[in-house]
């Protein structure tokens, strides 16, 4: 499903240059749930951003479903990401001027799905927010916001779900409930999950834990 070879990434130039990833090799199979763990600055979020095509590596290759992300143009990469990947962010990042339903239907509409609204309603229902579908993000609680973000990430039926500290902004109880929902949905849809977290308990729920230290896998 995902094959990463000799992946390197650094930020800054000259003396302030920091090598964040120093030649990472990693393979992740379809349907696997993988937790990327490590201390702050270990490179886990950078690795996630490269795998999700949110950024470009300095060298190395990322193959997803047989396609090399590095060889894609920005436009091709954008389309590939929209069709194959979903992302959940720590800060939810819902569009403040769109309702919960519109936030969920947006990725489907970008892909010109003719049943976008219907499908979005089903997903909103699935995350238990059908009564809040017409509300704006500012009218939702943290847990509700992250559930909307989860529904949006899964809306286009991606084969991979990237989650960046998904419970980091939620209280323990709410976080747990949202994570239960995420793992249920991932299992149900047989989606590959790649999760960046500091939470050891959450990491343990994944089928594999990958540890990063100073830009390398350990």
Choices 97-105, 123-131, 171-179, 199-207 (CB under 8 A): range interacting with another protein: 97-105
24 binds another protein (CB under 8 A): no
Cα gap 19→21, rounded to integer Å: 6
How many residues interact with another protein (rule CB under 8 A)?
Answer: 41
Query: Residues 6 or more apart from 23 whose CB is under 8 A from it?
Result: 6, 7, 8, 60, 216
Nearest to 172 by CA among 147, 141, 132, 202: 202
33 versus 90: smaller Cβ distance to another protein = 90
Site string for another protein, 105-144 (x = CB under 8 A): xxx-xxx----xx------------------x-----x--
Residue 75 contacts another protein per CB under 8 A:
yes
Which of 140, 164, 192, 195 binds another protein (CB under 8 A)? It is 164
HEC string of 81-148 equals HHHHEEEECCCCCCCCCCCHHHHHHHHHHHCCCCCHHHHHHHHHHHCCCHHHCCCCHHHCCHHHHHHH
199 lines the binding site for another protein (CB under 8 A): no
Choices 25-33, 44-52, 173-181, 202-210 (CB under 8 A): range interacting with another protein? 44-52
| Cβ partners under 8 Å of residue 46, min gap 6 | 9, 20, 21, 55
Binding residues (CB under 8 A) for another protein: these are: 40-41, 45-46, 48-49, 52, 54-55, 74-75, 78-79, 81-83, 87, 89-91, 93, 95-98, 102, 105-107, 109-111, 116-117, 136, 142, 152, 164-165, 168, 196
């Amino acid at each position: 499903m995902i094959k990463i070879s000799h992946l390197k990434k650094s930020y800054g130039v000259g003396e302030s240059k920091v090598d964040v990833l120093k030649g990472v090799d990693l393979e992740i199979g379809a349907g696997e749930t993988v937790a990327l763990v490590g201390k702050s600055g270990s490179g886990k979020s950078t690795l996630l951003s490269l795998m999700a095509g949110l950024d470009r590596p300095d060298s190395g290759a990322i193959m997803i479903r047989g396609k090399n992300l590095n060889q894609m143009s920005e436009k091709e990469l954008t389309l590939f990401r929209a069709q194959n990947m979903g992302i959940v962010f720590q800060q939810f990042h819902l569009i403040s001027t769109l309702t919960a339903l519109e936030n969920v239907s947006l990725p489907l509409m970008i892909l010109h799905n003719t049943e976008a609204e219907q499908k979005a309603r089903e997903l909103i229902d699935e995350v238990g927010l059908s009564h809040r579908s017409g509300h704006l993000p500012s009218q939702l609680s943290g847990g509700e916001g992250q559930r909307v973000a989860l529904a949006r990430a899964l809306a286009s039926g991606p084969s991979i779900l990237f989650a960046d500290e998904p419970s980091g902004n939620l209280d323990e109880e709410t976080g747990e409930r949202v994570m239960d929902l995420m793992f249920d949905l991932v299992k149900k849809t047989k989606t590959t999950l790649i999760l960046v977290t500091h939470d050891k308990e959450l990491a343990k729920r994944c089928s594999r834990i990958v540890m990063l230290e100073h830009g390398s896998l350990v």
